[in-house]
Amino acid sequence: MLATLRNRTFRRLFAAQVVALVGTGLLTVALGLLAYDLAGTQAGAVLGTALAIKMVAYVVIAPVISALTAHVPRRALLVGADVVRAVIALALPFVDQPWQIYVLIFVLQSASATFTPAFQSVIPSVLVDEDDYTRGLSLSRLAYDLESLLSPILAAALLSVVTYNYLFLGTVAGFAASALLVVSTTLPMIAPADRSVPLVQRVTLGARVMFSRPRLRGLLALNLSVAAATGLVLVNTVVYVRELLGGSNTGVAFALGIYGGGSMLVALTLPRLLARIPDRRVMLTGAALLPIGLTATVALLVADAGRGAGWALLAGTWLVMGMGTSLINTPSARLLRFESEPENRGAVFTAQFSLSHACFFFTYTIAGWVGATVSQPIAAITLAVLATLAGLVAARAWPARTEPITEPVPAGRA
């Protein structure tokens, strides 16, 4: 897997991804603690709203910016997005009202909606060989998982000596370092955009491709499974640890780290696994694990267990759900590459980014508001049902008899 890093361009882009993710991980922990400071036991509702706003930015802004900036050099686009994110992160420690969080998060995540699809769509042009691309995807997934695992540990270490507001400075440093690495990298040139095509058609191109192809329709359903599990973990971990288990801020970071650890275990094994087992089987296995984890969460919430047993159940459940999400997320870009052409690849990657986060908008809202206003068990049950139905739809939408995803697809120029 590490042999892929011999590619100088990919190595620098990967390093930029890693440092930006570390900053994002610190932001996730700090934002949860800021919400708890402002709203106490209603932190789940505040954080759920903030994350729902993030999803609105991703769903609405990403396809529009992708269409409008199709002719902009990728390096300028990536650096500009990093600069905006750094400036907004610098302002977050000074907020004292929930509405201020909402405004700043919208701007920051609009910049992320610009950065992430552009970053993902340029990688196929850098790693043209299919095996190299698969290994690159695993490294990229591993970076996300290490962020989920190490950023909370780093946050926990920092929280032992400083207040959580200083975590936002780590976020600023991560985005700044990412921008510097991208500036120092020469990226492939993009093909000129066809400006004669109406904007609406350019905005919807990726979505039209995804809905027209069986594999990608299956992926759309799997996105909902991932969103159900991830929404519960990101929105309500702080509530479960602080209120149900009587834990500390460090305990919140530890629980999020367990979730990332499960995902990382899968990412390390997937390159060899995908060489022997079809992508469909791997991804549907992940879809089967997620309802199990969500159902176990219900048991955690309703059982009258001691704190030791509660911690053990939470850790095991978060580990399983981390594994399930990685079994789906890591191979997904292989599907996108295989089912797209150079001229529409950027639009397809953007559509996946946007549509998958539309699912997150839905599940974050359920996890936050249903958990806070109805009950936490009802929120977990609802998400478990959604994940189960999504897995069944994916299995039906993606035919079992399809050719393996092993053919190298010309990557074109990003």
Summarised one tens digit per residue, pLDDT across range 113-156 is 888 888 877 887 777 776 677 777 777 777 766 666 666 667 77
- Asked if 218 and 350 touch (Cβ cutoff 8 Å), the reply is no
Residue the block writes with tokens 């600069």? 83
- Asked if 244 and 301 touch (Cβ cutoff 8 Å), the reply is yes
pLDDT category, 387, cuts 50, 70, 90? very high
Q: CB within 8 A of 146, min separation 6: which ones?
A: 18, 21, 260, 264
* pLDDT number for residue 239: 85
* pLDDT number for residue 241: 86
* pLDDT number for residue 414: 37
How many other CB atoms are found less than 10 A from the CB of residue 80? 16
Q: What do you get for the CA distance between the two ends of the chain, in Å?
A: 23
Q: What is the pTM of this model?
A: 0.73
Q: What are the structural domain ranges in the chain?
A: 2-397
Domain 2-397: which topology? Answer: Growth Hormone; Chain: A; (1.20.1250)
What does the pLDDT look like over 38-80, one tens digit per residue?
Answer: 766 666 677 767 767 777 887 887 788 777 777 777 788 889 9
Q: How far is CA 300 from the centre of its chain?
A: 25
Dist CA 231 CA 365 (whole Å): 8
CA dihedral 82→84→90→95, nearest 10 degrees, is: -140
